[in-house]
């Protein structure tokens, strides 16, 4: 009588990705946006896709304070492999650009307390034209990555059709699980299906992948960041329930430190990626990063907001006619994060509001500006003004409401003071 149920339960658990990884959004560095498919190591040895590039970046992560902040993954993207599989049908790294091989590169990461990610594609070719991992190669390639002691795998979708993707993405999840090695699994599947239901099943994705690309590739421009922000917040009601510990929407890499963003725009990308509980993969040159970009990427308060253990993705709560938008994310300890973002292109705009207007419950809140570290106490009813630069943000960490009321009670001859906690939870009123 009970047997079919047990078998069903086993079948379900076997299909789920239970690698226990990425309980908070993964952080690290990913080659693609900045280095693309530069394979010209003869003429561009410092920037070509080679083991040297990944070792250089690993050195920077481990020596310049990144690792301690949580940036631990070094991820290879496209164009790493040889154009042909080896005699046993296995993927192999390009021998000229990766003379030591991927296993040695993984060792290089591990001795530094870092992790190595690698890239493949579920079609016949990768997007860059390298050998893909179609259905009949999934088991073999998962085993190869595990033997190389790789820690994360991004499975792209070029040159595959809907049917192959519907089979391949869950199959790869099982194959990675079956290796016994915990390997974080990034699925590009939804990005190839328009990112929305009914074509995309976010419940299934949460069961089989740790993160997934929902939308277009990021490019080194503010337009590109804005297009991504627009799409993610327009569809927030679909995307928010999909995310949580171990399963994340991925709006793509951080391009801070490259050429396309001003300092204000860089602060905006970092702030909005933290609100979105997005994976934080930088794609930049850590060897030459300027101090401004470094300060933004290494901002401890924003990182801790991004990494909040509740893992609740935040939302846009206001689009004001002034072209100021407000974003909010609930955090653990009854705290929250607020971002005031300006879509204006004229001058710093003095936006006036109150926490009550932003749906906060009655109370007195300690507020910290995460970029200036200035702290103030703001009562829910107090009107305040934030000055938001064009295309920039003001971002606040808002602590739990403090005890505000002291009431005097007379009891016999004693005077006793009772502190009344404010309703401790400011979350439900915003949901
Ligand atoms: C696709 C992906 C990118 C990158 C390239 C590599 O466009 O979305 O993130 O991996 O392929 O060719």
The pLDDT tens digits for 133-169 are 999 999 999 999 999 999 999 999 999 999 999 999 9
Domains of the chain: which residue ranges? 3-306, 315-422
CA 31 to centroid of chain Cα atoms = 15
Task: Judge whether residue 417 has pLDDT over 70.
Answer: no
Indicate the top mutation candidate among 77, 121, 283 to test ligand 1's pocket, ranked by most ligand atoms within 8 A of CB. 77
Q: Which ligand 1 atom is nearest residue 191's CA?
A: 8
Where does ligand 1 bind, in terms of residues with CB under 6 Å? Answer: 32, 77-78, 126-128, 156, 188, 217
CA of 197 to the centre of ligand 1 (A): 22
pLDDT at 263: 98
Return the residue whose CA atom lies nearest to atom 6 of ligand 1. Answer: 78
Q: Which ligand 1 atom is nearest residue 77's CA?
A: 10
Task: Judge whether residue 408 has pLDDT over 60.
Answer: no
Domains 3-306 and 315-422 are alike in CATH topology: no
Percent of the chain with pLDDT over 90: 89
Instruction: Say if CB 149 and CB 113 are below 8 A apart.
Output: no
Indicate the top mutation candidate among 30, 31, 188 to test ligand 1's pocket, ranked by most ligand atoms within 8 A of CB. 188
Taking residues 64-75, report their average pLDDT: 98
Q: What is the mean pLDDT of the chain?
A: 92
Return the residue whose CA atom lies nearest to atom 4 of ligand 1. Answer: 32
CA of 27 to the centre of ligand 1 (A): 18
pLDDT at 18: 79
Q: What is the pLDDT of residues 259-309, one digit of tens each?
A: 999 999 999 999 999 999 999 999 999 999 999 999 999 999 999 999 999
CA of 78 to the centre of ligand 1 (A): 7
Task: Among 1.10.8.80, 3.40.50.720, 3.40.50.2300, 3.20.20.70, name the CATH number for the domain at 3-306.
Answer: 3.20.20.70
> What six digits make up the tokens of 336?
């929250």
Indicate the top mutation candidate among 122, 127, 152, 220 to test ligand 1's pocket, ranked by most ligand atoms within 8 A of CB. 127
Return the residue whose CA atom lies nearest to atom 1 of ligand 1. Answer: 127
User: In whole angstroms, how far apart are CA 121 and each of 35, 49, 126, 139, 264?
Assistant: 18, 17, 5, 13, 35
Q: What is the pLDDT of residues 190-203, one digit of tens each?
A: 999 999 999 999 99
Q: Which residue has the higher pLDDT, 3 or 419?
A: 3
Q: Compute how many other C-beta atoms are within 10 angstroms of the C-beta atom of residue 33.
A: 22
CATH-assigned architecture of domain 315-422? Sandwich (2.60)
CA of 80 to the centre of ligand 1 (A): 13
Instruction: Say if CB 22 and CB 246 are below 8 A apart.
Output: yes
3-state secondary structure the chain: CCHHHHHHHHHHHHHCCCCCCCCCCCEEEECHHHHCCCCCCCCCCCCCCCHHHHHHHHHHHHHCCHHHHCCCEEECCCCCECCCCCCCCCCCECCCCCCCCHHHHHHHHHHCCCEEEEEEECCCECCCCCECCCHHHHHHHHHHHHHCCCCEEEEECCCCCHHHHHHHHHHHHHHHHHCCCCCEEEECHHHHHCCCCCCCCHHHHHHHCCEEECCCCCCCCHHHHHHHHHHHHHCHHHHHHHCECCEEEECCCECCCCCCCCHHHHHHHHHHHHHCCCCEEECCCCCCCCHHHHHHHCCHHHHHHHCCCCCCCCEEEEECCCCEEEEEEECCCCCEEEEEEECCCCCCEEEEEECCCCCCCCCEEEEEECCCCCEEEEECCCEEEEEECCCCEEEEEECCCECCEEEEEEECCEEEEEEECCCCCCCHHHC
Q: Which ligand 1 atom is nearest residue 216's CA?
A: 8
Per-residue confidence band for 407, with pLDDT thresholds at 50, 70 and 90: very low
Q: Which residues contact 429 (CB under 8 A, 6 or more apart)?
A: 359, 360, 361
Q: Which ligand 1 atom is nearest residue 217's CA?
A: 8
Return the residue whose CA atom lies nearest to atom 5 of ligand 1. Answer: 127
Q: What is the pLDDT of residues 211-258, one digit of tens each?
A: 999 999 999 999 999 999 999 999 999 999 999 999 999 999 999 999
Q: What is the pLDDT of residues 322-370, one digit of tens each?
A: 999 999 999 999 999 999 999 999 999 999 999 999 999 999 999 999 9
Return the residue whose CA atom lies nearest to atom 9 of ligand 1. Answer: 217
Percent of the chain with pLDDT over 70: 90
Per-residue confidence band for 404, with pLDDT thresholds at 50, 70 and 90: low
Instruction: Say if CB 271 and CB 19 are below 8 A apart.
Output: no
Active site residues: 156, 217
Find, among 328, 262, 269, 261, the residue nearest to 297 by Cα. 269
């Amino acid at each position: 009588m009970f047997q079919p149920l047990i078998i069903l339960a086993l079948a379900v658990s076997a299909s789920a990705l239970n690698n226990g990884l990425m309980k908070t959004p993964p952080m690290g560095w990913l080659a693609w946006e900045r280095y693309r498919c530069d394979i010209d190591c003869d003429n561009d040895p410092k920037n070509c896709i080679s083991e040297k590039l990944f070792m250089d970046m690993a050195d920077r992560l481990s020596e310049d304070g990144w690792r301690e902040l949580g940036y631990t993954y070094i991820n290879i993207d496209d164009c790493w492999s040889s154009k042909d599989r080896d005699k046993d049908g296995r993927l192999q790294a390009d021998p000229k650009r990766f003379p030591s091989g991927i296993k040695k590169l993984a060792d290089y990461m591990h001795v530094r307390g870092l992790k190595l990610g690698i890239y493949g594609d579920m079609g016949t070719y990768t997007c860059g034209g390298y050998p893909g991992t179609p259905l009949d190669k999934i088991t073999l390639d998962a085993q190869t990555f595990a033997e190389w002691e790789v820690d994360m795998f991004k499975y792209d979708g070029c040159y595959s059709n809907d049917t192959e993707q519907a089979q391949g993405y869950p199959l790869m999840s099982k194959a990675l699980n079956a290796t016994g090695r915990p390997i974080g699994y990034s699925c590009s599947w939804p990005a190839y299906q328009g990112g929305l239901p009914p074509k995309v099943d976010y419940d299934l994705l949460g069961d089989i992948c740790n993160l997934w690309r929902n939308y277009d590739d990021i490019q080194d421009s503010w337009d590109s960041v804005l297009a991504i922000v627009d799409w993610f917040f327009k569809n927030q009601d679909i995307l928010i329930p999909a995310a949580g510990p171990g399963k994340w929407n991925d709006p793509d890499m951080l391009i801070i430190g490259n050429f396309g963003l001003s300092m204000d725009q860089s602060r905006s990308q970092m702030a909005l990626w933290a609100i979105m509980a997005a994976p934080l993969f930088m794609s930049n040159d850590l060897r030459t990063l300027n101090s401004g970009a470094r300060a933004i990427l290494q901002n401890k308060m924003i990182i801790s907001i991004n990494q909040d253990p509740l893992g609740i993705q935040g939302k846009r709560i206001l689009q004001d006619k002034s072209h100021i938008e407000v974003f909010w994310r609930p955090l653990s300890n009854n705290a929250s994060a607020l971002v005031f973002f300006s879509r204006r292109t004229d001058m710093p705009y003095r936006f006036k509001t109150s926490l009550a207007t932003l749906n906060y419950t009655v109370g007195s809140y300690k507020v910290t500006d995460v970029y200036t570290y200035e702290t103030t106490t703001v009562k829910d009813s107090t009107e305040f003004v934030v000055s938001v630069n064009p295309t920039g943000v003001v971002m606040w960490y808002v602590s739990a409401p403090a005890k505000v009321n002291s009431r005097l009670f007379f009891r016999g001859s004693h005077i006793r003071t009772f502190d009344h906690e404010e309703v401790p939870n400011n979350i439900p009123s915003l949901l």
